[in-house]
Amino acid sequence: MENPKEENPGKKINNAIKYSAIGFQMFATIALLTFIGYKIDQHRQSKTNLITAMFALAGVGIALYQAIRQVTRK
């Protein structure tokens, strides 16, 4: 009989693809929001990059929320 604890090799590959895609999605979310914040700071000609920092932190929060939601979903 087949051992039920052994995982299907195809399932391992699918998990690897799933988790690497989550990483790319997190990077894209953070990069996009940081870029938007940078452009706002550039347009306002502000001396400090406060908007960039705020948008970057918001991007991290949103990316973490999305990642946790995807990982816990079955």
- The model's pLDDT over 18-63, given as tens digits with 9 standing for 90+, comes to 889 999 999 999 999 999 999 999 999 999 999 999 999 999 999 9
So what's the pLDDT on residue 5? Answer: 59
Q: Are 52 and 41 in contact (CB under 8 A)?
A: yes
This prediction has a pTM of: 0.79
Structural domain containing residue 38? 16-72
Q: Does position 72 have pLDDT exceeding 60, yes or no?
A: yes
Q: How many domains are contained in the chain?
A: 1
So what's the pLDDT on residue 33? Answer: 98
DSSP conformation class of 46: -
| 4 in any annotated domain | no
Q: Does position 74 have pLDDT exceeding 70, yes or no?
A: no
